[in-house]
Amino acid sequence: MTPTLVKLQRAAKGVAPPPPPPKSVLKRGGNARYDFHRAVERLVEKLDLQLLDTSSESGYGSEQDVDSLNSVSSNATAASAATAASSSEASTAPSTEQSPPPPPLPRRRGRRRVQFDSYVLLLQGLKERNLELVQANVREVCREAMSTDEVTLEVMRCVVDSEEAILREVLAHGFDANFADPAGLTPLHLAAAFNLLPVIKLLIANGAAVFARAHSSGQTPSAMCSPRVRNYEACQAYLRCMEECLGVANGGACHAARPYRTCRSDELCVAAGERVVVRRKGDYEGSAWWWCESGDGRQQGYVLKDLLALNRPSSSQ
């Protein structure tokens, strides 16, 4: 048996190895040979190798450890099987206790409503002659919107169609009864041309000027009544009566249908809807300039009768 094996046998039996020799067996001389066995002995002594029990340090358990591990794994398998069986029985058996209610859903935002412009709806109501649509939107638009080309065109068509209810709504909410188209025709001119007596009364009650003249022909509403259309006599007689009453009824009080500014000292500046009092119907018969006094009585001057109305225009109220 070699010295190395003897050393290993002693270490296994727990016998302390003998003390190392005081001198190295390795020769450093030129003629000495390398002793392999002695080098191994020195390596073993240096590492102080003890082979008492290497199973726990090496990670490979003994038979008892293997048995304990097997028992633990078997117990874990049995526990998992029992848990699975209990869960399956719980799922198949009818539940006596009610499950908790699900959490509430997040609150939704309010639905957005499509809202059309009131002006567009008003214009649609005028085109369709829909009184309810006009009433629902005429209060929502401004007065400037009542004087656009689209609205005035549809109102003129309503005058021709004798839509009194629609005309009453638009006049009460800012439409100018003295509006004139590029030819100078006002709604009163059109109503007189078709002999629409109810519409004529409605317009005059809302401040239409009875002496307004069309730019193209220079005719007043009473001169535009159509003899070949029915109600000619009634319409012409009513308009002539309103012309006679202007400047006489109510103590000569009347209202300016349109604003007027002048630089002449003998003429009177008036604003739309301003109250004036007629003192003299011109200096001669058929004169177009009437001598008037302002509502407060401080100023006097000539005012063109084409600008005067029996009632205050609704657009200036």
Cβ atoms of 268 and 300 closer than 8 Å: yes
State how far the Cα of 303 lies from the Cα of 256, in Å rounded to an integer.
Answer: 9
pLDDT at 176: 92
pLDDT above 50 (res 103): yes
pLDDT above 60 (res 292): yes
The pLDDT tens digits for 255-281 are 999 999 988 889 999 999 999 999 999
* Dihedral angle, C-alpha 277, 283, 287, 291, nearest 10 °: -20
Residues carrying CATH 1.25.40.20, the chain: 176-316
Phi, psi angle pair for 276, to nearest 5°: -130, 160
The pLDDT tens digits for 23-69 are 544 445 444 555 767 777 777 676 654 544 444 444 444 555 545 54
Task: Return the minimum-mean-pLDDT range out of 53-67, 126-140, 234-248.
Answer: 53-67
Strand partners, 18: none
Task: Return the minimum-mean-pLDDT range out of 6-15, 144-153, 306-315.
Answer: 6-15
pLDDT at 16: 60
Instruction: Provide the whole-model pTM.
Output: 0.63
pLDDT at 26: 45
Q: Alpha-carbon torsion 97, 102, 103, 108, what sign? A: negative
CATH class as words, domain 176-316:
mainly alpha
pLDDT at 68: 54
Sorted by sequence, the CB contacts under 8 Å of residue 173 that are 6+ apart come out as 138, 139, 146
Q: Which two tokens stand for residue 98?
A: 């009610």
Cα 237-240-245 angle, rounded to 5 deg: 125
Cβ atoms of 309 and 247 closer than 8 Å: no
pLDDT at 264: 87
